[in-house]
Copies of this chain bind each other. A is one copy, B any other.
Amino acid sequence: MKRRDFLKKAGVGAAAAAAATTVNAPFVHAKKKIKWKMVTTWPPKLPYLQTGAVRLAKRVEEMSGGQFKIRVYAGGELVPPFGSFEAVSKGTVQAGSGAAYYWAGKAPASQWFAAVPFGLNAVGMAAWFWGGDGLKLWEEVYAPFNLVPRPAGNTGVQMGGWFNKKINSIDDFKGLKMRIPGLGGKVLAKAGGTVVLTPGGEIFTNLERGVIDATEWVGPLHDYIMGFYKVAKYYYYPGWHEPGTVLENFFNKKAYDALPKEFQLMLDVATAETYNWMLSGFNADNGAALEKLISKHKVNLVRFPAKVLDQLRVLAGETLDEIAAQDKMAAKVHTNFKKFQKQVGIWGQVSEKAYYDVIAKKYSLKG
């Protein structure tokens, strides 16, 4: 059935190519068409995360003159959201899209390629991938799973979360029930908090009913859509636990290796271009959403006290060291990450910190 469908479409394509005489008609044509499936971990239409995957597929199809088609399935449409890693690993489908920290149970080292508490921000992660060893190490971590990873986007610095209790000292985390998965959750637990794992669709109600005291999500754009401002007192920043979360595409290695070199490169280049597009869109839209949250919904924006963040930084360091102590590959990645963070760290203070402190200070919250 699928095979027949494939041949039928290929036939149509060949006819179209034969009819092409004008300059702008399809210019390239393959000997055979390639059709891939991509399974994401995202709900349909989730801005930037799901729409980024759809946009990528469209670009690859257009660049290849319709010869390389990727059909994108949202989480649950073909396989469960968190089944995508395994489906691509086994070759059931050729491609997936998610965030590497979802696969912590399979490979602890994977977490460093998504978000490290007190780690690198969006430009820092990009510098590690494309100007350091980040991407090479990521490939090494995914190789045993028969997967090729590619950085596909970044949310930018996330927000600290929505709280119904005020955080004045580290002790205020004691007993705090917070929806915060991953490494951030491990750090919260170290601080005495209780991590509650709540599916996205139930967070609002749980926060409203006091089942949880706090939740993190993404940033102003996505948080606005979730409506948390209606049921939470304080909107904390910055997202120390996710300072620049990387989204990923991953490809089945055999399928990727079997691609013509041109199509491999189209995938790689278009995925890297999506990183830029996604971060740009997040920044533009987060700016607009934050403005609306502040001026229209009078959200109470609060920065975590510096001392609390210093204490969380120590706990985060302990958490990362503990994971690295139990897994060789995680240790290797952790060491490289720390070294690179130092390499760009002082430069970040001289360049971007100074930019926000003194060049862009006109927009300072305190006037």
- A residues with a Cβ closer than 8 A to B are 23-31, 59, 62-65, 67, 118, 121-124, 126-132, 156-157, 159, 219-220, 237-238, 240, 243-244, 258-263, 265-266, 269-270, 272-273, 275-277, 279-288, 290-291, 294, 301, 303-304, 306, 309, 313, 340-360, 362-365
Contact = CB atoms under 8 A, between A and B. Distances in A.
12 contacts: A62-B265, A123-B123, A309-B358, A342-B363, A348-B356, A348-B363, A349-B356, A349-B363, A350-B365, A352-B352, A352-B356, A357-B357
A19 to B, nearest CB: 13
A334 to B, nearest CB: 15
Contacts of A270: 269, 273
A280 B345 contact: no
A65 B309 contact: no
A362 B317 CA distance: 12
Contact of A359 (B67, B132, B243): B243
A104 to B, nearest CB: 21
Contact of A272 (B29, B126, B277): B277
Contact of A350 (B129, B238, B281): B238
A294 to B, nearest CB: 8
A342 B258 CA distance: 48
A351 B65 contact: no
A188 to B, nearest CB: 16
A262 B64 contact: yes
Contacts of A294: 346
A362 B345 contact: yes
What is the total number of copies of this protein in its complex? 2
Given A62-B261, A262-B63, A265-B59, A284 B121 contact: no
Contacts of A244: 355
B280 A123 contact: yes
A24 B63 contact: no
Contact of A290 (B28, B301, B350): B350
Nearest to A59: B269
A131 B47 CA distance: 13
Contacts of A243: 355, 359-360
Given A157-B351, A352-B356, A63 B237 contact: no
Nearest to A344: B287
Contact of A352 (B157, B281, B343, B365): B157
Contacts of A65: 28, 260-262
Given A276-B126, A301-B350, A355 B263 contact: no
Contacts of A118: 359-360, 362
**Most interface-central of A244, A269, A347 (chain B CB within 10 A):** A347
Given A276-B126, A347-B283, A363-B342, A304 B28 contact: no
Contact of A291 (B25, B280, B304, B343): B343
Contacts of A258: 23
A130 B347 CA distance: 26
Contact of A28 (B23, B67, B284): B67
Contact of A276 (B23, B275, B342, B356): B275
B348 A281 contact: no
Given A28-B28, A283-B124, A363-B348, A130 B277 contact: yes
A351 B275 contact: no
B351 A237 contact: yes
A237 B355 CA distance: 9
Given A276-B272, A348-B363, A350-B365, A62 B238 contact: no
